[in-house]
Amino acid sequence: MEEPIARDAVLELRSVRKTFGPVVALSSGSIHLERGSIHALLGENGAGKSTLVKIAAGVYRRDSGEMRLRGEVVDFRSPAEAKRAGIAVIYQEPTLFPDLSVTENVFMGRQPLRSLRRIDRARMTAETISVLSGLGVSIDPDRPAMGLSIADQQVVEIAKAISLDAQVLIMDEPTAALSGHEVERLFAIARSLRDQGRSVVFVSHRLNEVFELCDMATVMRDGEFVASRRVDELTPSEIIRLMVGREITQMFPKTEGREPGRVMLSVDGLTRAGVFRDVSFDVRAGEIVALAGLVGAGRSEVARAVFGVDVYDAGEVRVDGAELAPTDPRAAISAGIAMIPEDRRKQGLFVDMSLGRNTTLILRRALARMGLITSSAEYRSATEWTRRLQVRSHDLDSKAGTMSGGNQQKSVIAKWLATEPSVLIVDEPTRGIDVGTKAEVHRLLDELAGDGMAILMISSELPEVLGMSDRILVMREGEITATLTRAEATQELIMTAATRHEVNA
Amino acid sequence: MSAVTAPERTFRRRVADLIKRRETSVVVAIVLVVALATSVNSSFAFGRDGWRNLLLTPSLLVVLAVAQAVVIISKNIDLSVSAVLGLTAYATGEMFTAWPSLPIPVVVVVAIAFGSGLGAVNGLLVSRARVPSLVITLGTLYIFRGLGIAWVGSAHIKPSDVPDSFERIGIASVLGVPVLTMVAIVVVIVAAFVLGSTRPGRELYAIGSNEEAADLYGLRVQRRVFFSFVASGTLAGLAGVMYAARYVMVDSQAGSGLELQSVAGAVVGGVAITGGSGTVIGAALGAVLLTTISRALPIVGVPDFWQQALVGALIIAAIVLDRVLANRHARRLVQEREPNVEPAEVAR
């Protein structure tokens, strides 16, 4: 670990820590932001960038560590406090008031007043026009925020920050939803902000953007500060090495040397305009195939399309040789696919229902006798699966929403395994669960593969990807950019395939 | 990059904006209804009583619709306004009976303050307990009404209980305009100023438009919501005093049903039930339209049982119209932005 170079700093965070229950989101975050610079904040998914940003922005409060603004120790209790102190965040998708005009969005809560505490509309509009034209942007200040493009919404946020005279602007993956020329416009704005002496923190996964725009880069990994360098002293492959350069010490319960069986899931040329293109892969019986990549690369969208939740424009999906009708999750279930979504509270569990009922929900048809489901049949089925998965809960009647994250995840898995699938799609199977349960989930996945199940595992955790899978597909911006075998895959290869964007090394 | 094109503040654009406004179409509707009813029976608008009733009858509902608009704009609702009106109307009469020597202005102020207090109860429950106001104010509607029944019983205020000078306020006119109508107009002007041109007012719009954003902007959401309910209670209290002056007969059921009429008036006047848009002037005009229609329908010979259905159809039509216009507006805004781009690409 290197210490940040000590120089005149606008904003400085040192060894900042933040935990959510048992989950450590940030164990030691540091950044040293110089006046008049554009500073890249880099790291894999889950490296702690967003947590660091949210602490600086007053969304979270740190558990420990130091935060200084212009040398003074600060402790923000709300985003509004951070904003008043001159730190503004431009999120990927800004939060504006859709019904109100652009001008009101810029000035809400601090409108200029004249006599009788009236709002001075003329002055407000004039100032908005002057800020917007200073940014070189043409947006009608009187139009409502509703219907503005994401890029223009970001511009409104930036205008707000400037009219607040914010000295620190944090842009959290601002380019993810922008088109090419919108990115150019944003860069021009960021440079002019820098030239005015403001400081910009730029969070992005696109390395070429970092090299094009930024002066400094801070790399984080697993919730820790790794390094901070001048960008012109770095190369893309060095950044990737810093991002992934961990020792993998964790052991995975992976049975090696199994011979995979026949192709169970075959995806060919799957395309959805603007989301993913020409995605093709096979998953064989007894095989775990990982779908790696960064958040937003389109992995979950592919899974949802395969399962029939979302539409696709072209391509086909075959299960055990038979073509699967698109956009029909029921057909997918009866063909033997099970999908465990990432956001289990929203998509995987009915948190207000009992554990037992959750487990058997998808089996309603199989369990029903003359259209009625008897509690005892439901119980028998639920008991078996929750026992096999060691879901720790007092009884099958307790509400699913009251269980721990790990037990919720296991009961979602139980729910789907009860359908006895031949193909299992799991999206981020161990996100947000503790280490012990993680190991159990991994053991379970290995066991299921041993029983001949074909498993497609979406995962953003490189150790998990490398440790659990037989083959690895890497996606970047909607396309599969690499297919790696277990033997040849390394963290660097995966990250390179996941981030390289018109950068040649 | 092109420079900012200054918004075209031409006369034409202003006229176009004015024509497109909901307020304008409501005014046109009111004029049509009045014209139709007057053509059937000229005493609807002409003659001393006709003119007076035309202006006087809507004034109560106008005040309530303004009260309702204040809370609906922040994405809340106050169903208890009618019960607050009932309680304050009865309290007004009771004060005259119990302390006949009390000056009228004192009685009026105390009664209005009583309304503010009841509004504060709503405001505290909604902003502190963070329970949807629909549930809270439905509860307080029954509670306030129940308290009224316990207090009033089968008694009622009679004309002989109130001083003549107070009774006269209910029917008096100055320069052809009834006093109560003037009160309602003053309420509309003050509320329009506060909501349109002051920070607290604009913040109510912001809260109703996107509460999450309001939190991020550091607006004091709970405080604003609390005071919007106090305002709504205060106006309902004022409406109670007006009720007592206008009808003089007050029993425990005074004002029943006005809560939904006030919502209807606001909605017809263009106040979006989803918060964040609409004006109090629109709400007031909506209330005038509803009252005028229900007075006009019997005159033009619409049978009793159709009258309510017609009013209902009008409310639905107003909401559907809002939805259609909002969708068209949103599409146009997207198209202005990227004229040659397919929607799918816009999403990307």
CA B11 to mean position of chain CA atoms: 31
Nearest partner of A341 among A443, A284, A403, A409, judged by Cα: A409
**What pLDDT, on a 0 to 100 scale, did the predictor assign at position B4?**
41
Cβ-based burial of A374 (10 A; exposed 0-12, middle 13-18, buried ≥19) = exposed
A361 lies in the same domain as A334 = yes
Residues A469 and A252 sit within 8 Å (Cβ to Cβ): no
**pLDDT at residue A502, as a whole number:** 44
Residues in chain A, overall count: 505
**pLDDT value at position A1?**
44
Give chain B's end-to-end CA distance (angstroms, integer): 23
DSSP tag of A453: -
Interface of A with B (CB under 8 A): 78-81, 83-84, 95-100, 104, 108-109, 111, 113, 117-119, 121, 129, 132-133, 136-144, 146-149, 152, 177, 179, 185, 188, 273-275
Residue A193 in any domain: the answer is no
- Window B:275-294, CB contacts with A under 8 Å: 276-277
How many angstroms separate the CA atoms of B201 and B183, rounded? 21
A426 SS3 class: strand
The pTM assigned to this predicted structure is 0.78
Inter-chain CB proximity B344 and A274 less than 8 Å:
yes
Q: Tokens 């923190």 identify what position?
A: A201
A273 and A344 housed in the same domain: yes
Kindly state whether residues A368 and A237 are assigned to the same domain: no
Regarding whether A176 and A273 lie in a shared domain, the answer is: no
Of B5, B276, B334, which is closest to A97 when you measure between CB atoms? B276
A468, part of any domain: yes
Q: How far is CA A434 from the centre of its chain?
A: 19
Question: Is residue A258 in some structural domain?
Answer: no
What is the structure's pLDDT at A38?
95
Q: What is the mean pLDDT of residues A166-176?
A: 89
Q: Is residue A144 part of a domain?
A: no
Mean pLDDT, rounded, for A55-74? 92
Give the whole-number percent of chain A exceeding pLDDT 90: 44
Q: Kindly state whether residues A325 and A234 are assigned to the same domain.
A: no
In the predicted structure, residue A400 carries a pLDDT above the cut 80: no
Provide the phi-psi class of A165: left if phi over 0, else alpha when psi is between -120 and 50, else beta: left
3-state helix, strand, coil in chain B (%, to 5): 75, 0, 20
pLDDT of residue B44: 84
**What pLDDT score was predicted for residue B63?**
97
C-alpha distances out from residue A102 to A111, A178, A231, B260, Å: 13, 20, 36, 34
Residue B18 Cα, gap to closest chain A Cα (Å): 15
**What is the pLDDT tens value at each position of chain B, 348 positions in all?**
334 444 455 677 777 777 778 888 889 999 999 999 999 888 888 877 888 888 999 999 999 999 999 999 999 999 999 999 999 999 999 999 889 888 999 999 999 999 999 999 999 999 988 789 999 999 999 999 999 989 888 888 888 888 888 888 888 888 889 999 999 999 999 999 999 999 999 999 999 999 989 988 889 999 999 999 999 999 999 999 999 999 888 888 888 889 999 999 999 999 998 899 999 999 999 999 999 998 888 888 888 788 888 888 888 888 888 778 777 877 777 666 655 444 433 333
Domain co-membership, A19 together with A62: yes
Range of the domain at A349: 263-499
| Helices and strands (H and E) in chain B: how many | 15, 2
Which structural domains are found in chain B, ordered by start? 21-303 (1.10.3470)
Q: DSSP class of residue A215?
A: S
Cβ proximity of A27 and A66 under 8 Å: no
Does residue A221 sit in the same domain as residue A324? no
Domain-located, residue A301: yes
Q: Which range among A186-200, A352-366, B97-111, B321-335 shows the weakest confidence by mean pLDDT?
A: A352-366
Instruction: Give the mean model confidence (pLDDT) for residues A228-252.
Output: 82
Task: ipTM value, please give it.
Answer: 0.85
Give the tokens for residue B210: 């996107």
Asked whether the predicted pLDDT for residue A380 surpasses 90, the reply is: no
Q: Does B8 touch chain A (CB under 8 A)?
A: no
Q: How far is B217 from chain A (nearest CA, A)?
A: 6
pLDDT band at A93 (very low <50, low <70, confident <90, very high): confident
A71-80 long-range contacts, CB within 8 A, separation 24+: A71/A9, A78/B218, A79/B215, A79/B216, A79/B218, A80/B216, A80/B217, A80/B218
Residues A381 and A411 in one domain: yes
Task: Identify the pLDDT of residue B345.
Answer: 37
Residues 183-202 on B with a CB inside 8 Å of A are 193, 197-199, 202
Residue A428: pLDDT band by 50, 70, 90 thresholds?
confident
**How many other C-beta atoms are found inside a 10 Å radius of the C-beta of residue B150?**
9
pLDDT for residue A383 is more than 80: no
Tell me whether residue A117 is in a domain.
no
Q: How crowded is the C-beta side of B215, counted as CA atoms within 13 Å?
A: 8
In a domain, A119, yes or no: no
Mean pLDDT of A87-113: 90
Between A345 and A407, where is the model more confident? A407
Domain identity same for A421 and A375: yes
Task: Mark whether A290 and A216 lie in a shared domain.
Answer: no
Query: Are A217 and A351 contained in the same domain?
Result: no
Is the CB of A111 less than 8 angstroms away from the CB of B202? yes
To the nearest whole angstrom, how far is the Cα of A202 from the nearest Cα of chain B? 20
pLDDT tens digits along A33-60: 999 999 999 988 778 888 999 999 998 9
Residue A359, CB-side half-sphere exposure with 13 Å CA sphere: 31
Domain annotation covers residue A73: yes
Would you state the pLDDT for residue A180? 78
pLDDT at A504: 41
pLDDT at residue B244, rounded to an integer: 93
| A99, A105, A146, best to mutate vs chain B, most B CBs in 10 Å | A99
Whether residue A188 has pLDDT greater than 90: yes
pLDDT at residue A505, rounded to an integer = 37
What is the residue-averaged pLDDT of chain A? Answer: 84
CA distance B114 to A371: 58
Q: Which residue of A has its CA nearest to B346?
A: A149
Cα angle A122-B213-A66, degrees, rounded to a multiple of 5:
110
- Does A221 share its domain with A301? no
The answer to whether B202 contacts A119, with C-beta atoms less than 8 Å apart, is: yes
| More confident site: B154 or A346 | B154
Q: What is the mean pLDDT of residues A417-437?
A: 81
Please give the pLDDT value at position A125. Answer: 93
Number of folded domains in chain A?
Answer: 2
CATH number at residue A379: 3.40.50.300
Q: For A15-120, where are the alpha helices, taking DSSP H only?
A: 49-56, 79-84, 102-107
Which residue among A96, A146, A188 sits closest to B213, beta carbon to beta carbon? A96
